[in-house]
Chains A and B, each alone.
Chain A
Amino acid sequence: GEDVEQSLFLSVREGDSSVINCTYTDSSSTYLYWYKQEPGAGLQLLTYIFSNMDMKQDQRLTVLLNKKDKHLSLRIADTQTGDSAIYFCAESLYNTDKLIFGTGTRLQVFP
């Protein structure tokens, strides 16, 4: 199957950490990605992780991958109001050019 699920909404206070979760079903995924979409804009690639890794850190972003449970998370440290956006996880399927997007999580950051 190709279903990628995310919780719909997350609200955090400025300065706190945000954790956005994603579950996927296709065990043949090679890479998993996090994209950010601001209103009226396209998607911006934030970070990605290869399927044989379990963690990747990139400045304020930490990606955790639990391949056994098919669970991916994105932690944003010191969340800022500019981080308010919709976050999509995505998986690339083995031996294809297809990228399957999750349902998206709207992150709202309040002062």
Chain B
Amino acid sequence: DTEVTQTPKHLVMGMTNKKSLKCEQHMGHRAMYWYKQKAKKPPELMFVYSYEKLSINESVPSRFSPECPNSSLLNLHLHALQPEDSALYLCASSQVGQGEKLFFGSGTQLSVL
């Protein structure tokens, strides 16, 4: 299994809603990532988990809250988002270490109304 699975594929939420994005991989990877991608732009790193511990937070607003319940799962909890947070949210995983290949999920397209 070489897939990273993200759910849901599409999400529409209001600014007062609370929702969660989910990501799962069964490749034994111990590093997992959240990226945000606006249209026609490159992905921007948000968070990195290494061995289920948060290792990088790229100064992301607290309305985004990541969680790594175990080595196969990664969640991104969303609360009180703004319309400018609308984007494609990509999850990725890799072996831990320098320069390891990232495997990406197909993303969740989020629209905040």
Contacts and interface: CB of A to CB of B under 8 A. Distances in A.
Contacts of A77: none
Contacts of A24: none
B109 A40 contact: yes
A30 B99 contact: yes
A42 B106 contact: yes
A42 B55 contact: no
B90 interface: yes
Contact of B107 (A42, A44, A88): A42
B98 A33 contact: no
A97 B104 contact: no
B50 A42 contact: no
B56 interface: yes
Interface stretch (A12-20, A59-67, A68-76, A100-108): A100-108
B interface majority secondary structure: strand
Which bracket fits the contact residues of B? Answer: 20 to 34
Nearest to A101: B42
Interface in B1-53: 4, 6, 31, 33, 40-45, 48, 50
B99 A31 contact: yes
Nearest to A98: B45
A48 B94 CA distance: 14
A43 B92 CA distance: 9
Contacts of A41: 106-107
Most B Cβ at <10 Å: residue of A31, A50, A92: A92
A48 B102 CA distance: 11
A95 B98 contact: yes
Nearest to A97: B48
A95 B41 CA distance: 26
A45 B102 CA distance: 7
Interface of A: 30-31, 33, 35, 40-45, 48, 50, 88, 92, 94-99, 101-104
Given A42-B6, A98-B56, 12 more contacts: A31-B98, A41-B107, A42-B90, A42-B104, A42-B105, A88-B43, A96-B98, A97-B48, A97-B96, A99-B45, A104-B40, A104-B42
